[in-house]
Amino acid sequence: MAFGGSEQVSETPLIPTSIKIVVAGGFGVGKTTLVNTVSEIPPLRTEEVLTEASVGVDEMVAGKETTTVALDFGRITINARVVLYLFGTPGQNRFWFMWDELAHGALGAIVLVDTRRLDSSFPSIDFFERRGIPFIVAVNEFDGSWPHTTEEVRLALDIDRGIPIVPCDARDRESAKRVLVELVQHTMRRLERAPV
C-alpha cells in the first residue's frame, strides 16, 4: 500500500496452522503418558480413580489405578507455522461414545499399542479405518521390551503395509515426538497422493 509516494510493507503476524491429532488405543497402553510427556503446556487430564465398582465393568491392568473418563489434551508447537493439538481418547469401552467428537476434524491419529494385549487395539484400528482417518501404530515399549518384529505386529493387527508401525517409549519426550513426526509425514504423503 502506497502513502505519499512511499511504500509501506505490512508485517502481518504469522497465524499458525492448527493440526488436531488423536491418540487412541486400549485401556492402559500409555495414551495419557504420551500426551503428558510431549505437551509443552500443562496437559488437561480427566482421570478418575478406579474403584471396587469398576470390577467386572471395566478392563483392569495390574498396577493401573486411574482411568481417563473424557479426554487428555496437550499442545506442541512444531515451528512458527504449525501447532499440534493432541486429544487422548478414553480407553474404557463405556466411554467410546466420545470418540466421534474427539476425532471430528482430526488430521490423523496415533494408535498406541501394547504387544502384551494386542486385542485391545482392534477397536481403535477399526474406528479410524471406517472413518478414513489416517493413522499410524506406535508400539509402546513397556520396560524397554520390543518382543515382536514390526512384521509380526503388522500380521497380528492385520493392517495394510502402507500404515507405519513405530516403536516408542511414551515416557520419553524425544521418542513421543518421533511418533508425532511420523504421523504428520504419513498424513502428508497420503494427502499428496489423494485425487484432487
pLDDT digits (tens, 9 = 90+) for 58-106: 454 555 455 554 578 899 988 888 899 999 888 666 556 677 888 899 9
DSSP per residue, 80-121: TTEEEEEEEPP-SGGGGGGHHHHHTT-SEEEEEE-GGGGGGG
* Locus of grid cell 505519499: 4
Domains of the chain listed by start with CATH number: 14-193 (3.40.50.300)
CA proximity to 61, closest of 40, 91, 81, 32: 91
Q: Calculate the alpha carbon distances from 27 to 69, 101, 151 in Å.
A: 11, 19, 24
* pLDDT confidence tier of residue 152, bands split at 50, 70 and 90: very high
pTM of this structure: 0.78
**Alpha helices in the chain, H assignment, sequence order:** 31-38, 99-103, 122-131, 150-157, 173-193
Residue 141 has pLDDT above 90, yes or no: no
